[in-house]
Structure 1
Amino acid sequence: MHFLLLGAIGRTGKHVVSKLLSQGHTVVALVRDSKRIKPQSNLTIVSGSPLEQSDIHAALTAVPSLSVSAAIFTLNTLRKSDSPFAAQVGPPRFLADSCTNLCAVLEQAGVRRVVVMSTAGVGD
Protein backbone atom coordinates (compact mmCIF):
# COMPACT_ATOMS: atom_id res chain seq x y z
CA MET A 1 0.00 0.00 0.00
CA HIS A 2 1.01 3.64 -0.44
CA PHE A 3 0.50 6.06 2.45
CA LEU A 4 0.57 9.81 2.98
CA LEU A 5 1.88 10.63 6.44
CA LEU A 6 1.63 13.95 8.24
CA GLY A 7 3.73 14.01 11.40
CA ALA A 8 6.53 11.67 10.31
CA ILE A 9 9.26 13.26 12.43
CA GLY A 10 7.46 13.29 15.76
CA ARG A 11 7.62 10.82 18.64
CA THR A 12 4.90 8.61 17.15
CA GLY A 13 5.34 9.38 13.47
CA LYS A 14 8.89 8.09 13.24
CA HIS A 15 7.67 4.71 14.55
CA VAL A 16 4.83 4.71 12.00
CA VAL A 17 7.33 5.36 9.19
CA SER A 18 9.56 2.54 10.41
CA LYS A 19 6.69 0.07 10.70
CA LEU A 20 5.18 0.90 7.30
CA LEU A 21 8.53 0.62 5.52
CA SER A 22 9.40 -2.64 7.31
CA GLN A 23 6.13 -4.10 6.02
CA GLY A 24 7.03 -3.20 2.43
CA HIS A 25 4.73 -0.19 2.02
CA THR A 26 5.66 3.11 0.40
CA VAL A 27 5.29 6.39 2.26
CA VAL A 28 5.18 10.06 1.36
CA ALA A 29 5.94 12.19 4.40
CA LEU A 30 4.91 15.85 4.48
CA VAL A 31 7.35 17.44 6.93
CA ARG A 32 8.01 20.98 8.06
CA ASP A 33 11.77 20.37 8.45
CA SER A 34 13.24 17.83 6.02
CA LYS A 35 16.60 17.91 7.84
CA ARG A 36 14.97 16.02 10.72
CA ILE A 37 14.13 12.88 8.72
CA LYS A 38 16.55 10.35 7.29
CA PRO A 39 16.05 9.49 3.60
CA GLN A 40 15.18 5.82 3.15
CA SER A 41 14.15 3.50 0.38
CA ASN A 42 10.40 3.72 -0.36
CA LEU A 43 10.13 7.01 1.58
CA THR A 44 9.45 10.22 -0.31
CA ILE A 45 10.00 13.38 1.71
CA VAL A 46 8.06 16.53 0.82
CA SER A 47 8.78 19.79 2.63
CA GLY A 48 5.75 21.88 3.45
CA SER A 49 3.12 22.79 5.96
CA PRO A 50 -0.11 20.98 6.77
CA LEU A 51 -1.61 24.46 7.16
CA GLU A 52 -1.36 24.85 3.37
CA GLN A 53 -3.67 22.73 1.24
CA SER A 54 -1.33 23.19 -1.73
CA ASP A 55 1.51 21.55 0.26
CA ILE A 56 -0.71 18.60 1.20
CA HIS A 57 -1.75 18.24 -2.43
CA ALA A 58 1.92 18.30 -3.50
CA ALA A 59 2.67 15.48 -1.07
CA LEU A 60 -0.40 13.53 -2.17
CA THR A 61 0.79 13.63 -5.78
CA ALA A 62 4.55 13.39 -5.12
CA VAL A 63 4.73 9.86 -6.55
CA PRO A 64 2.51 10.05 -9.64
CA SER A 65 2.80 6.33 -10.36
CA LEU A 66 1.17 5.42 -7.03
CA SER A 67 -2.27 6.19 -5.65
CA VAL A 68 -2.48 6.94 -1.94
CA SER A 69 -4.32 4.12 -0.16
CA ALA A 70 -4.74 6.05 3.08
CA ALA A 71 -3.50 9.07 4.98
CA ILE A 72 -2.11 8.87 8.50
CA PHE A 73 -2.16 11.94 10.74
CA THR A 74 0.23 11.84 13.72
CA LEU A 75 0.86 15.57 14.01
CA ASN A 76 1.33 17.25 17.34
CA THR A 77 1.64 20.88 18.33
CA LEU A 78 5.02 22.56 18.55
CA ARG A 79 6.08 23.00 22.16
CA LYS A 80 8.84 24.82 24.07
CA SER A 81 10.53 21.49 24.82
CA ASP A 82 10.14 17.78 24.07
CA SER A 83 7.89 17.37 27.09
CA PRO A 84 4.30 16.72 26.01
CA PHE A 85 3.27 19.00 28.89
CA ALA A 86 5.42 21.99 27.79
CA ALA A 87 3.73 25.18 26.68
CA GLN A 88 2.54 25.26 23.08
CA VAL A 89 4.40 27.65 20.77
CA GLY A 90 2.65 26.92 17.48
CA PRO A 91 -0.64 28.32 16.19
CA PRO A 92 -3.51 27.58 18.62
CA ARG A 93 -5.59 25.79 15.94
CA PHE A 94 -2.67 23.96 14.33
CA LEU A 95 -4.10 20.45 14.71
CA ALA A 96 -7.70 21.37 13.86
CA ASP A 97 -6.74 23.42 10.80
CA SER A 98 -4.23 20.82 9.60
CA CYS A 99 -6.80 18.04 9.87
CA THR A 100 -9.42 20.16 8.10
CA ASN A 101 -6.97 20.85 5.27
CA LEU A 102 -6.00 17.19 4.97
CA CYS A 103 -9.64 16.08 4.79
CA ALA A 104 -10.44 18.69 2.13
CA VAL A 105 -7.51 17.62 -0.07
CA LEU A 106 -8.27 13.93 0.38
CA GLU A 107 -11.94 14.45 -0.47
CA GLN A 108 -11.00 16.27 -3.69
CA ALA A 109 -8.66 13.39 -4.59
CA GLY A 110 -11.18 10.69 -3.75
CA VAL A 111 -9.10 9.21 -0.90
CA ARG A 112 -11.53 7.82 1.67
CA ARG A 113 -9.22 6.35 4.34
CA VAL A 114 -7.73 8.48 7.13
CA VAL A 115 -6.18 7.42 10.43
CA VAL A 116 -5.91 10.20 13.01
CA MET A 117 -3.87 9.81 16.17
CA SER A 118 -4.99 12.28 18.78
CA THR A 119 -4.43 12.99 22.44
CA ALA A 120 -7.25 15.53 22.54
CA GLY A 121 -9.00 15.38 25.88
CA VAL A 122 -6.15 13.61 27.67
CA GLY A 123 -5.48 16.57 29.94
CA ASP A 124 -3.42 19.72 30.30
Structure 2
Amino acid sequence: MKLSILGATGQTGLFLISQALQQGHEVKALVRNVSKITIQHQNLKVVEANIFSSESLEEHFKGQDTVMSCLGFQYKLFSSISGYSDSMKAIVTAMRQAGVKRMVTMTSWYTGPGSGINSSFFIRNLLIPLIKSVLTNMYEMEQYLEMECSDLNWTVVRPPGLQNNPATDKEIMTSEGFFVPGDDGYPVTNTVARGDVARFMLSVLNDEKWTRKIVAMCCKA
Protein backbone atom coordinates (compact mmCIF):
# COMPACT_ATOMS: atom_id res chain seq x y z
CA MET A 1 0.00 0.00 0.00
CA LYS A 2 1.21 3.52 -0.75
CA LEU A 3 1.09 5.63 2.42
CA SER A 4 1.57 9.37 2.92
CA ILE A 5 2.57 9.97 6.54
CA LEU A 6 2.25 13.35 8.25
CA GLY A 7 3.93 14.10 11.58
CA ALA A 8 6.65 11.73 10.47
CA THR A 9 9.43 13.33 12.54
CA GLY A 10 7.58 12.87 15.82
CA GLN A 11 8.15 9.85 18.06
CA THR A 12 4.94 8.09 17.03
CA GLY A 13 5.50 9.00 13.39
CA LEU A 14 8.96 7.42 13.40
CA PHE A 15 7.54 4.18 14.80
CA LEU A 16 4.81 4.31 12.16
CA ILE A 17 7.32 4.73 9.33
CA SER A 18 9.53 1.89 10.57
CA GLN A 19 6.64 -0.54 11.02
CA ALA A 20 5.06 0.40 7.68
CA LEU A 21 8.34 -0.29 5.88
CA GLN A 22 8.73 -3.59 7.73
CA GLN A 23 5.26 -4.57 6.51
CA GLY A 24 6.21 -3.82 2.91
CA HIS A 25 4.34 -0.56 2.40
CA GLU A 26 5.67 2.25 0.23
CA VAL A 27 6.00 5.32 2.45
CA LYS A 28 6.11 8.99 1.58
CA ALA A 29 6.99 11.05 4.67
CA LEU A 30 5.78 14.65 4.51
CA VAL A 31 7.88 16.88 6.75
CA ARG A 32 8.94 20.50 7.29
CA ASN A 33 12.62 19.59 7.50
CA VAL A 34 13.78 16.60 5.46
CA SER A 35 17.05 16.38 7.39
CA LYS A 36 15.16 15.24 10.50
CA ILE A 37 14.39 11.86 8.93
CA THR A 38 17.48 9.67 9.19
CA ILE A 39 15.79 6.39 8.21
CA GLN A 40 16.93 5.16 4.82
CA HIS A 41 14.98 2.57 2.85
CA GLN A 42 14.27 1.85 -0.79
CA ASN A 43 10.52 2.16 -0.13
CA LEU A 44 10.81 5.49 1.75
CA LYS A 45 10.61 8.90 0.12
CA VAL A 46 10.96 12.02 2.28
CA VAL A 47 9.48 15.26 0.93
CA GLU A 48 9.01 18.79 2.23
CA ALA A 49 5.42 19.96 2.63
CA ASN A 50 3.27 22.57 4.35
CA ILE A 51 0.61 20.82 6.43
CA PHE A 52 -1.61 23.91 6.38
CA SER A 53 -1.61 24.22 2.57
CA SER A 54 -3.90 21.94 0.57
CA GLU A 55 -1.98 22.90 -2.57
CA SER A 56 1.31 21.77 -1.02
CA LEU A 57 -0.22 18.50 0.20
CA GLU A 58 -2.17 17.63 -2.93
CA GLU A 59 0.87 16.95 -5.10
CA HIS A 60 2.19 14.49 -2.51
CA PHE A 61 -1.18 12.73 -2.08
CA LYS A 62 -1.68 11.98 -5.78
CA GLY A 63 -1.36 8.28 -6.51
CA GLN A 64 -1.35 7.35 -2.81
CA ASP A 65 -3.72 4.85 -1.19
CA THR A 66 -3.88 6.27 2.32
CA VAL A 67 -3.00 9.34 4.35
CA MET A 68 -1.85 8.75 7.94
CA SER A 69 -1.34 11.55 10.44
CA CYS A 70 0.56 11.63 13.74
CA LEU A 71 0.61 15.42 13.85
CA GLY A 72 0.91 17.01 17.26
CA PHE A 73 0.80 20.61 18.47
CA GLN A 74 2.09 22.06 21.73
CA TYR A 75 -0.43 23.11 24.34
CA LYS A 76 -0.89 26.73 25.36
CA LEU A 77 -1.87 27.60 28.89
CA PHE A 78 -3.73 30.82 28.34
CA SER A 79 -4.85 30.67 24.71
CA SER A 80 -6.48 28.29 22.29
CA ILE A 81 -4.76 26.35 19.54
CA SER A 82 -6.11 25.46 16.11
CA GLY A 83 -3.37 23.33 14.56
CA TYR A 84 -5.34 20.09 14.59
CA SER A 85 -8.49 21.43 12.93
CA ASP A 86 -6.64 23.78 10.57
CA SER A 87 -4.28 21.10 9.30
CA MET A 88 -7.09 18.56 8.97
CA LYS A 89 -9.12 20.90 6.78
CA ALA A 90 -6.11 21.30 4.50
CA ILE A 91 -5.51 17.53 4.51
CA VAL A 92 -9.15 16.76 3.64
CA THR A 93 -9.21 19.33 0.83
CA ALA A 94 -5.99 17.89 -0.60
CA MET A 95 -7.31 14.33 -0.33
CA ARG A 96 -10.45 15.22 -2.22
CA GLN A 97 -8.46 16.99 -4.92
CA ALA A 98 -6.03 14.08 -5.21
CA GLY A 99 -8.74 11.42 -5.15
CA VAL A 100 -7.56 9.71 -1.95
CA LYS A 101 -10.33 8.26 0.20
CA ARG A 102 -8.64 6.54 3.16
CA MET A 103 -7.20 8.31 6.19
CA VAL A 104 -6.07 7.28 9.68
CA THR A 105 -5.27 9.96 12.24
CA MET A 106 -4.72 10.12 15.98
CA THR A 107 -5.99 12.30 18.82
CA SER A 108 -6.19 11.33 22.51
CA TRP A 109 -8.35 9.99 25.29
CA TYR A 110 -10.59 12.55 27.02
CA THR A 111 -11.10 14.92 24.08
CA GLY A 112 -14.80 15.31 24.83
CA PRO A 113 -15.96 17.85 27.43
CA GLY A 114 -16.22 16.19 30.84
CA SER A 115 -15.01 12.83 29.53
CA GLY A 116 -12.22 12.58 32.10
CA ILE A 117 -14.54 12.45 35.11
CA ASN A 118 -13.58 8.83 35.88
CA SER A 119 -9.85 9.33 35.39
CA SER A 120 -7.32 9.49 38.22
CA PHE A 121 -7.04 12.57 40.45
CA PHE A 122 -3.81 13.63 38.75
CA ILE A 123 -5.20 13.35 35.23
CA ARG A 124 -8.59 14.85 36.09
CA ASN A 125 -7.38 17.81 38.10
CA LEU A 126 -3.89 18.52 36.78
CA LEU A 127 -3.14 17.02 33.37
CA ILE A 128 -6.46 17.62 31.60
CA PRO A 129 -6.65 21.30 32.68
CA LEU A 130 -3.01 21.74 31.59
CA ILE A 131 -3.58 20.40 28.07
CA LYS A 132 -7.18 21.58 27.72
CA SER A 133 -6.37 23.68 24.65
CA VAL A 134 -4.98 20.60 22.89
CA LEU A 135 -7.91 18.34 23.82
CA THR A 136 -10.43 21.00 22.80
CA ASN A 137 -8.92 21.41 19.35
CA MET A 138 -8.58 17.64 18.91
CA TYR A 139 -12.30 17.38 19.66
CA GLU A 140 -13.05 20.09 17.11
CA MET A 141 -11.09 18.08 14.54
CA GLU A 142 -13.01 14.93 15.40
CA GLN A 143 -16.31 16.78 15.08
CA TYR A 144 -15.26 18.14 11.69
CA LEU A 145 -14.55 14.63 10.39
CA GLU A 146 -17.81 13.26 11.75
CA MET A 147 -20.00 16.07 10.45
CA GLU A 148 -18.36 17.11 7.19
CA CYS A 149 -16.33 14.19 5.86
CA SER A 150 -18.80 11.39 5.19
CA ASP A 151 -17.32 11.07 1.69
CA LEU A 152 -13.98 9.89 3.11
CA ASN A 153 -13.09 6.60 4.82
CA TRP A 154 -11.44 8.05 7.91
CA THR A 155 -10.55 6.51 11.26
CA VAL A 156 -9.55 8.45 14.38
CA VAL A 157 -7.41 6.58 16.91
CA ARG A 158 -7.51 7.81 20.52
CA PRO A 159 -4.59 6.61 22.69
CA PRO A 160 -3.94 7.45 26.37
CA GLY A 161 -0.64 8.94 27.59
CA LEU A 162 2.17 8.13 25.18
CA GLN A 163 5.40 6.41 26.22
CA ASN A 164 8.42 6.47 23.91
CA ASN A 165 8.62 2.69 23.73
CA PRO A 166 8.54 0.26 20.79
CA ALA A 167 5.65 -2.02 19.96
CA THR A 168 4.87 -4.96 22.19
CA ASP A 169 2.93 -8.16 21.54
CA LYS A 170 0.25 -7.21 24.04
CA GLU A 171 -3.41 -7.55 23.12
CA ILE A 172 -4.95 -4.27 21.98
CA MET A 173 -8.16 -3.20 23.70
CA THR A 174 -10.62 -0.80 22.05
CA SER A 175 -13.73 1.21 22.83
CA GLU A 176 -15.92 3.59 20.87
CA GLY A 177 -15.69 6.13 23.66
CA PHE A 178 -13.33 8.71 25.09
CA PHE A 179 -11.27 6.05 26.91
CA VAL A 180 -11.11 2.27 27.31
CA PRO A 181 -13.03 1.25 30.47
CA GLY A 182 -12.52 -1.81 32.62
CA ASP A 183 -15.33 -3.84 34.14
CA ASP A 184 -15.71 -1.17 36.82
CA GLY A 185 -16.18 1.60 34.26
CA TYR A 186 -12.87 3.26 35.08
CA PRO A 187 -9.95 3.58 32.64
CA VAL A 188 -7.93 0.37 32.45
CA THR A 189 -4.61 2.23 32.14
CA ASN A 190 -3.08 5.69 31.78
CA THR A 191 -0.41 4.98 29.18
CA VAL A 192 0.48 3.11 26.00
CA ALA A 193 3.69 2.60 24.01
CA ARG A 194 3.95 4.79 20.91
CA GLY A 195 5.00 1.69 19.01
CA ASP A 196 1.70 0.03 19.91
CA VAL A 197 -0.25 3.07 18.70
CA ALA A 198 1.57 2.79 15.37
CA ARG A 199 0.86 -0.95 15.32
CA PHE A 200 -2.85 -0.35 15.80
CA MET A 201 -3.00 2.47 13.23
CA LEU A 202 -1.54 0.16 10.60
CA SER A 203 -3.87 -2.67 11.61
CA VAL A 204 -6.99 -0.63 10.82
CA LEU A 205 -5.95 0.14 7.25
CA ASN A 206 -7.86 -2.83 5.85
CA ASP A 207 -10.38 -3.18 8.67
CA GLU A 208 -13.77 -1.78 7.66
CA LYS A 209 -14.92 -2.13 11.28
CA TRP A 210 -13.38 1.24 12.07
CA THR A 211 -14.41 3.12 8.92
CA ARG A 212 -15.76 6.55 9.88
CA LYS A 213 -15.31 5.65 13.52
CA ILE A 214 -13.43 7.17 16.46
CA VAL A 215 -11.82 4.44 18.54
CA ALA A 216 -10.07 4.67 21.91
CA MET A 217 -7.31 2.10 22.30
CA CYS A 218 -4.73 0.80 24.74
CA CYS A 219 -2.97 -2.45 25.51
CA LYS A 220 -4.02 -5.13 27.95
CA ALA A 221 -1.74 -5.28 30.96
Q: Tell whether the structures are fold-level matches, with TM greater than 0.5.
A: yes
- 8 Å CA contact retained: 1:31, 1:45: yes
SS for the counterpart of 1:76 is: coil
Counterpart mapping for 1:4-83 below 5 A: 4-38=4-38, 39-61=40-62, 67-77=63-73, 79=74
| Corresponding position of 2:180 | none
- Greater RCO structure (CA 8 Å; 6+ sep): 1
- 8 Å CA contact retained: 1:29, 1:59: no
Give 1:106's match in structure 2, choosing from 83, 95, 101.
95
Q: TM-score, normalised by structure 2?
A: 0.46
- 8 Å CA contact retained: 2:59, 2:98: no
Give the letter aligned to residue 61 of structure 2.
Answer: L
Aligned length: 110
Distance in 2 separating the partners of 1:109 and 1:57: 6
- Two-structure CA RMSD over aligned residues (Å): 2.0
Distance in 1 separating the partners of 2:76 and 2:88: 21
SS for the counterpart of 1:40 is: coil
**Where do 4+ consecutive residues of structure 1 move more than 4 Å?**
none
Distance in 2 separating the partners of 1:40 and 1:118: 28
SS for the counterpart of 1:71 is: strand
Distance in 2 separating the partners of 1:2 and 1:99: 20
**1:87, distance to aligned residue in structure 2 (A):** 4.6
- The answer to which of 24-33 and 49-58 deviates more is 49-58
**1:34, distance to aligned residue in structure 2 (A):** 1.0
Whichever structure has more helix as a proportion of its residues is 2
Distance in 2 separating the partners of 1:68 and 1:21: 15
Distance in 2 separating the partners of 1:94 and 1:87: 12
Distance in 2 separating the partners of 1:18 and 1:2: 14
Distance in 1 separating the partners of 2:105 and 2:4: 12
Deviations 1:47-100 (A, max 9, x none): 121011122113224xxxxx21111011001x4xxxxxx658xx9211111111
SS for the counterpart of 1:108 is: helix
- The answer to which of 34-43 and 7-16 deviates more is 34-43
Q: TM-score, normalised by structure 1?
A: 0.79
The higher radius of gyration belongs to 2
What percentage of aligned pairs have identical amino acids?
A: 28
